[in-house]
Structure 1
Amino acid sequence: MSYESQQMARYSGIPTFMRVPIISDLSLFDIALIGIPFDGGVTNRAGARHGPREVRNQSTLMRTINQATGIAPFDLTRVGDFGDALPDSPFELTGAHKAIENYYQQVKDAGVIPLSVGGDHSVTLPVLRAMAKDGPVALVHFDAHCDTGDFYLGSKFHHGSPFKVAADEGLIDPKKTIQIGIRGGVTDKDIWKFSYDSGMRVIHIEEFYQMGLERVIEEIKTVVGDSKVYVTFDVDVLDPCFAPGTGTPEVGGITTFEAQQMIRSLSSLNIIGADVVEVAPPFDQSGMTALTGATMMFELLCVCAASFSRRHT
């Protein structure tokens, strides 16, 4: 399928993700770019519901070849925009999650890799419910928070708990899960106890810099191995100077270049899906956070395309 972005000015046309074609038939595509404009799981600042639209807008700045890795994702795979996974009601989390799961079941059934933009981090749970129906998958999780908390204000389902629920439901294998960039203050010193007790590999920001980037990359590959893996990238893993537009910013994070380097190292993994979440444009009028989100999405697209191409050639 031809990718005709070079034939149209960036500021014109329908602003799909990275100016790719709109998907009307999933069987004609290998990778589906999808928005999930839902932030009903936030515990503090809402706004990530606007993430997909603004990331689509900023993603028109993306090009066709990754200069650092040489990967040309649109040459390796057929990529399209599958629109938004819209819940019937944005005001009821359980029903919204079920609608999102049903949307992704179509993608799973078609054998297509989903690459999504949220939305708050609670949306990764229904995506995993669709994509990991065949058994638990490994997880590479970039975030300032482990998101393995328990009940919050009486609710089990929120953006601080998706990976505890995912592990409890057998969607992810805790011993093949790695969480990178964890930091910030807490209200309970045992808030992430589930991560440790279940066997997840947790790399706090202090250990990240003690280890160095290359050792962290080696650790990712060691933990995941050759398992099917889902990659989830919360923009609050980045220092707020790079991504201020997010619901729960934490100072002292990684740089955008460090994030790019880690994502680029994942092309040898068996990736079944990925997402970028927690881009909240109302908190960043400059648009820089959405541009950063679009850039990380492109980096993820490159490794998803390389992974898919390797498995199908």
Structure 2
Amino acid sequence: MPKYQPKDSFQSPRFCGPRTFMRLPFEEKLDENMDFVVTGIPFDTGQSFRTGARFGPESIRDFSSLLRPYHPEQNINLFDYVSGVDYGDIPVIPGYIGETYDKIVEGLSPIVERGIIPIVLGGDHSITLGELRAVAKTYGPVGLVHFDAHSDTWDSYFGQKYNHGTPFRRAVEEGLLDVSRSIQVGMRGSLYGPEDLEAARELGFELWTTNQYKQAGVDEMLRVIRKRVGEGPAFLSFDIDFLDPAYAPGTGTPEVAGASIDDALALVRGLTDIHFVAFDLVEVLPAYDHGQITAAAAANIVHEFITLIALQKRLQAG
């Protein structure tokens, strides 16, 4: 029986106790019994329009108390195979992105070095650069599966090199990503020019717009992702604005005509053949959420991340 698993909601009502993800134990010390940790990075200095994603981690945790350990579509009880905790939040320095990157690397490196998989709750998308720096220290350049309305590969925004519109360009420049094994899915909306998308392709990413993935269908999109990423270590980054604002109104830079929550869950759920070593979900902004719609979507997507880890553990166990 895994050492770390959620509280039994038949013994303790879901509205009781401090908010941790899925009611997991709160632990700030790492040990060999942990397969994954959920941690927040409540930083939003990199946002360019609406701010407030620093409150995303607590919003996702709050809704996640409704999540249960058995996944019916995958036919697996997660905590028969994995052990995990809520690790609390990585310290950040509001207004200081470079220094916050150092804090992220310092906080995540011990997790990754032990082979524990971090699942990060953002925060704006600028935090992913710090995460990738920590991951690359152990694994070298990793493949990327990136679901987002925006490619986040601008060279600069407002003349600044580090913000939520630039992390993946910086990651390529720093040698953190294997772009030959990286794919971006879901780009849509008005642009400043065609170069906004072509820049990502010129960096080496395979890029699929929302219209392209919808025309191809979820099954074909999954086949393409698996083929692209292959067998090496990979990072999954999910910006909640991949979803249409009808499903995720609480985000910083919403774009209409996005994915449904059905498609989003199916896409993440289908990535069972990929060796993920880290995950994040970013850009949840609760001040613009309504009835916790966005938090509900985010929490359930993170539940799918944990399920992917559990499925890999079950496979390894034979």
The match for 1:174 among 179, 184, 193 is 179
1:169-208 superposed matches below 5 A: 169-208=174-213
Residue-pair matches, total: 312
Partner residue in 2 for 1:110: 114
Structure-2 separation of matches of 1:124 and 1:24:
21
For the Cα contact (< 8 Å) 2:109–2:135, is it kept in 1?
Answer: yes
Partner of 1:93: 97
The Cα of 1:98 is off from its aligned counterpart by 1.1
Give unmatched runs, 5+ long, in structure 2: none
Contact 1:271-1:307 at 8 Å conserved across structures: no
Change (3 A) 1:298 1:22: same
Counterpart CA distance in 1 for 2:214 and 2:60 is 29
Does 1:26 find its partner at 2:34?
Answer: no
Taking the aligned partners of 1:5 and 1:270, their CA distance within structure 2 comes to 30
CA distance in 1, matches of 2:83, 2:165: 34
- RMSD after superposition: 1.3
Between 281-290 and 135-144, report the one with greater CA deviation.
281-290
Partners of 1:94 and 1:146 lie apart in 2 by 21
Whole-Å separation in 2 of the counterparts to 1:160 and 1:272: 23
Equivalent in the alignment of 1:294: 299
Distance in 2 separating the partners of 1:220 and 1:109: 26
Change (3 A) 1:309 1:110: farther
Task: Give 1:153 deviation, angstroms.
Answer: 1.1
Spell out, residue by residue over 1:12-70, the C-alpha distance to the aligned partner (whole angstroms, 9 max, x if none). 01211000011243113110000110001011110110000111100001011111111
CA distance in 2, matches of 1:276, 1:258: 16
Counterparts of 1:239 and 1:285, CA distance in 2: 14
Are 1:269 and 2:274 counterparts?
yes
CA contact under 8 A between 1:149 and 1:192: conserved in structure 2?
Answer: no
Matched residues in 2 for 1:200 and 1:144: separation? 15
Which residue in the other structure is 1:119 paired with? 123
Work out whether 1:282 is the aligned partner of 2:275.
no
Cα gap change, 1:282 to 1:75, in 2 (>3 Å): same
1:39 and 1:2 map into 2 onto residues whose CA distance is 30
Residue in 1 aligned with 2:150? 145
Q: Does 1:240 align with 2:248?
A: no
Q: Under a length normalisation based on structure 1, what TM-score does the superposition of the two structures give?
A: 0.96
Among candidates 226, 242, 249, match of residue 221 of structure 1: 226
Deviations 1:197-218 (A, max 9, x none): 1221111111112211111010
**Corresponding residue for 2:44?**
39
What is the SS of the residue equivalent to 1:129? helix
In structure 2, relative to structure 1, the CA distance for the partners of 1:281 and 1:176 (3 Å cut) is same
| CA distance in 2 between partners of 1:245 and 1:257 (Å) | 18
Q: 1:265: how far off?
A: 0.9
Show CA shifts across 1:227-268 (max 9, x none). 111101101000000000000000000100101111111122
Q: Deviations over 1:251-288 (max 9, x none)?
A: 00010010111111112211101011000000114211
**Alpha-carbon contact 2:249-2:290 (below 8 Å) kept:** no
Of residues 104, 128, 133, the one that matches 1:129 is 133
What is the TM-score when the length of structure 2 is the normalising length?
Answer: 0.95
